[in-house]
Amino acid sequence: MEKVLPYIEANKERYLKELKEFLAIPSISSQKDHDGDMMKCAQWAADQMRTIGMESVQILPTGGHPLVYGNWLHSPGDPTVLFYGHYDVQPVDPLNLWTSPPFEATIRGENLYARGSADDKGQVFIHFKAIEAYMKQVGSLPVNIKLLIEGEEEVGSVNLDRFVKEHKEMLKADLVVISDSGMYAKGVPSICYSLRGLSYMEVEVTGPNRDLHSGSFGGSVHNPVQALCELIASLHDKNGKVTVNGFYDAVRPLTKAERVSFKKLPFSDKKYAKELGVKQLYGEKGFTTLERVWARPTLECNGIWGGYTGEGAKTVLPAKAFAKISMRLVPDQTSAEVAKLFEKHFRKIAPKTVDVKVRMLHGGEAAITPIDSPGVKAAVAALEKGFGKKPLYQREGGSIPIVVQFKNILGLDTVLLGFGLPDENAHSPDEFINLDNFFGGIRTSAYFYNELPSFWKGGHKRK
């Protein structure tokens, strides 16, 4: 690293110049008239891979936009990293809300503004430059590396699942690294080591066999909207716990170390509530807000509808009412099992006055890369050296489907090494990457590859 770091320092201006080139290509995957730009951008990424010393570089067709792949596999006995990122970006409208044009990267203050600067070209470029520095100065890498950069992340990675399934051998590795997320806050380097899963259900409550006049029939039958409300109301108890039978049975409890670590993060319930515009927060008793959102399973109504929802008054006693209800899951719950528990519970509590239907719409598993795993340990060490500050642990309440795909298909855990910031405007006008995070990211990325082998011991060795 004593050779690598000065190189990074010396090439800052060039890095920025090249990044601006990368960002200048309007690679909007969702807009047909940018198909040419998509190919141009894939080409740029492939050229860049070759420049930094990657081998077997290829642009791989999918049903949609192509993937770019390259590798360097000359460090036998050391772990193999599968780095995943994406070169496609979100649309840019409304254009008039951008301070500077979205595809003319512009530095203002300590940030570089452009579409894709944080999500995800800028973060992909961070790894390119860390690898370049290593290759140019050392002549080799401390790990084996496979780079997989896709062009359809912003349109749901529609072809990725099949591609990964069909290229298991090509993508074989020891762990996945993704830099497509953010740090906890500016100046607070952090490592996200767990994501929640999901069981997404739809329920249908049927009362009478047709919409009734609420005057002529009101008081005779159980209104399905009321029945649905009663059912939903019963899904949480007074302490904010989910009442679905067996819901918490499989939950991996938070460790003391995790809870201690979360408490170190700068967080204020008061500020959080104010920012969301609520007078008072709500949730499961006995857990802090971050614990509830990151590491506890929850149940939310994502939607509800039934009866008359237009303007004014219509005196209907509706025949049906519906709700979308999803549960966020944590390790070691499984989405199929929780869906089953929910369905069983919902049917059980339904009164005889109505009929209920329950169906699962969607599911995904929670993910965890334990904080004592070599990948996370290496990331922690790298962040500390890259940013000069001990990183904190965090989890994330949402899901990242590709993380689950890599786990399911390739059996790999993912290290999320995010260099964005919470306010980076990832899908909005004035997207930016903080320059300290950009250069700190390059250093961290280099440190990560440098540190990984020493944390990778015994049974963790590459198969």
Contacts with a copy of itself by CB under 8 A: the residue count is 79
Tokens of 286: 């006995």
Subset of 120-179 contacting a copy of itself (CB under 8 A): none
Question: Binding residue for a copy of itself (CB under 8 A) from 40, 167, 222, 259?
Answer: 222
For a copy of itself, which is the closer residue by CB, 53 or 240? Answer: 240
The closest of 438, 442, 448 to 186, measured between CA atoms, is: 438
Residue 133 corresponds to which tokens in the numbers above? 């520095």
Interface with a copy of itself in residues 434-463 (CB under 8 A): none
Among 27, 144, 298, 444, binds a copy of itself (CB under 8 A): 298
Note whether 374 and 172 are within 8 A (CB). no
Residues numbered 373-402 forming contacts with a copy of itself, rule: CB under 8 A:
396-399
Contacts of 321 (CB under 8 A, 6+ apart): 204, 205, 207, 224, 225, 227, 228, 304, 305, 306, 307
- Of 238 and 256, which CB lies nearer to a copy of itself in the complex structure? 238
Asked if 227 contacts 354 with a C-beta cutoff of 8 angstroms, the reply is: yes
CA distances from 268 to 150, 178, 291, 292, 395 (A): 37, 29, 13, 14, 17
User: CA 172, CA 414: separation in Å to the nearest integer?
Assistant: 13
Tell me which of 32, 63, 169, 276 binds a copy of itself, using CB under 8 A.
276
Which DSSP state fits 308? Answer: -
Cβ atoms within 10 Å of 35's Cβ, excluding its own: 14
Among 55, 300, 332, 372, binds a copy of itself (CB under 8 A): 300
Nearest distance, CB of residue 259 and a copy of itself, angstroms: 15
Encoding tokens for residue 335?
Answer: 């989405």
- Using alpha carbons, select from 336, 332, 38 the residue that is nearest to residue 159: 38
In our burial notation (b when 16+ CB lie closer than 10 A, e otherwise), range 326-362 reads bbbbbbebbbebbbebbbebbeeebeeebebebebee
Q: List residues with catalytic annotation.
A: 88, 153
Q: Which of 51, 180, 41, 176 is nearest to 117 (CA)?
A: 180
Residues 198-217 that bind a copy of itself (CB under 8 A): 198, 200, 207-210, 212-217
In the complex, what is the shortest distance from the CB of residue 209 to a copy of itself, in angstroms, rounded to a whole number?
A: 3
305 binds a copy of itself (CB under 8 A): yes
Residue from 1, 304, 358, 435 binding a copy of itself (CB under 8 A): 304
Residues 233-262 that bind a copy of itself (CB under 8 A): 233-236
Shortest Å distance, C-beta 241 to a copy of itself: 11
Using the rule CB under 8 A, give the single segment among 19-27, 82-90, 226-234, 406-414 that binds a copy of itself: 226-234
What residues between 398 and 427 interact with a copy of itself by CB under 8 A? 398-399
Q: Which of 32, 352, 457, 463 binds a copy of itself (CB under 8 A)?
A: 352
Task: Determine if 358 is a binding residue for a copy of itself (CB under 8 A).
Answer: no
Residue 303 is a binding residue for a copy of itself (CB under 8 A): yes
For a copy of itself, which is the closer residue by CB, 169 or 276? 276
What is the footprint of a copy of itself within residues 316-345 (CB under 8 A)? 316-318, 321-324, 326, 328
What does the block give as tokens for 27?
């690679």
